[in-house]
């Protein structure tokens, strides 16, 4: 008989079991489902709040990180811009320096003075600027003047002594000392700045001439003494000749 009604007994027990699970009891249930039921408990609001705040915090942190990244990239941009600006300024400075150096080289090349020789020449005698030659010519001048003096004496004598004639012949010898002149071709040059200047050879001659003229006063005094000494020597010889001639006439 129990076999015939086992299904009903099982259903009844199941119903009782489920009914007992729906009741609320302050004491802890030692079997079956917990007082809140056997269904899945929804997550608590605290948990939801924690997750929400965690999500919000991570969002804030993510947002803060994004802001930091954005700020650092924005901060990096001015540095990059500053670097580009400094490079551009450096390039501009180099171009300016190159342009300035080009202008300076152009100005120096354009301001360079060029000179061309003119069709001019200067001639001079080198011996005119040698002191020893000047002294020799003073001695020759004294001899020439002594010849004139002998000629004037002979006019007063009835007979010219032989020694006097010999002395005259000795003093009346002509000595040619001058050679060919020194010629400086294209002595002066015309320059692009409007000036005219001597060439190198003519400049040396002008310097020598300047030094010669500076020493000329002292040389003139020396030449005067040379002439006087030579004339004195010739006069002594003339007088000696005349005295010896008078002695022979007296004898």
**Residue 95 in domain:** yes
Using the 3D structure, point to which of 58, 87, 112 is the last residue of a domain. Answer: 112
Same domain (yes/no): 210, 159? yes
Q: How many domains does the chain have?
A: 2
Q: 79 and 160 share a domain?
A: no
Q: Kindly state whether residue 60 falls inside one of the protein's structural domains.
A: no
Mapped onto helix, strand or coil, the DSSP state of residue 192 is coil
Please list the pLDDT of the chain residue by residue as tens digits (251 residues).
Answer: 555 666 777 777 777 777 666 544 444 444 445 555 555 544 444 444 444 444 444 444 444 444 444 444 444 444 444 455 555 555 555 655 555 555 555 554 557 889 999 988 999 988 899 999 999 999 999 999 999 999 999 999 888 899 999 999 999 887 766 678 899 999 999 999 999 999 999 999 999 999 999 999 999 999 999 999 999 999 999 999 988 876 565 55
- DSSP category for residue 127: G
| Co-location of 103 and 124 in the same domain | no
> Which has the closest alpha carbon to 138: 238, 230, 237?
230
CA dist., res. 131 & res. 61, Å (int): 110
In angstroms, the CA 64 to CA 80 distance is: 24
Report d(CA 244, CA 171) in Å as an integer.
Answer: 20
Residue 186 falls in which region: left (phi positive, over 0), alpha (psi -120 to 50) or beta: left
Give the Cβ contact number of residue 96 at 10 Å: 10
Residue 85 in any domain: the answer is yes
Q: Residue 101: how many CB atoms within 10 A of its CB?
A: 10
Answer yes or no: do 224 and 188 share one domain.
yes
Q: Structural domain of residue 232, as residue ranges?
A: 116-250
Is residue 192 domain-shared with residue 108, that is, in the same domain?
no
Confirm whether 64 is domain-assigned: no
Whether residues 82 and 168 share a domain: the answer is no
Name the domain boundary from 58, 81, 112: 112
Q: What angle do CA 23, 27, 32 make, to 5 degrees?
A: 55
How many angstroms from the chain centroid is the CA of residue 171? 69
């Amino acid at each position: 008989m129990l076999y015939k009604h086992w299904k009903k007994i099982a259903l009844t027990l199941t119903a009782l079991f489920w009914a007992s699970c729906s009741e609320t009891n302050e004491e802890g249930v030692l079997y079956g489902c917990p007082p809140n039921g056997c269904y899945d408990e929804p997550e608590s609001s605290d948990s939801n709040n924690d997750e929400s705040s965690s999500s919000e915090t991570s969002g804030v942190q993510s947002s803060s990180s994004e802001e930091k990244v954005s700020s650092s990239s924005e901060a990096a941009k001015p540095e990059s811009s500053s670097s580009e600006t400094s490079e551009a300024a450096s390039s501009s400075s180099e171009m300016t320096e190159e342009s300035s150096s080009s202008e300076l080289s152009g100005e120096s090349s354009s301001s360079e003075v060029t000179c061309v020789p003119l069709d001019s020449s200067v001639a001079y005698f080198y011996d005119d600027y040698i002191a020893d030659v000047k002294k020799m010519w003073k001695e020759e001048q004294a001899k020439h003047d002594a010849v004139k003096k002998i000629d004037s004496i002979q006019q007063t004598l009835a007979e010219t002594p032989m020694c006097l004639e010999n002395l005259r012949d000795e003093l009346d010898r002509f000595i040619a000392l001058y050679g060919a002149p020194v010629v400086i071709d294209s002595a002066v040059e015309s320059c692009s700045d409007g000036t005219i200047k001597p060439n190198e050879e003519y400049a040396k001659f002008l310097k020598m001439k300047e030094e010669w003229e500076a020493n000329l006063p002292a040389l003139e005094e020396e030449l005067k003494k040379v002439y006087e000494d030579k004339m004195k020597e010739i006069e002594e010889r003339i007088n000696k000749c005349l005295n010896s001639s008078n002695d022979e006439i007296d004898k």
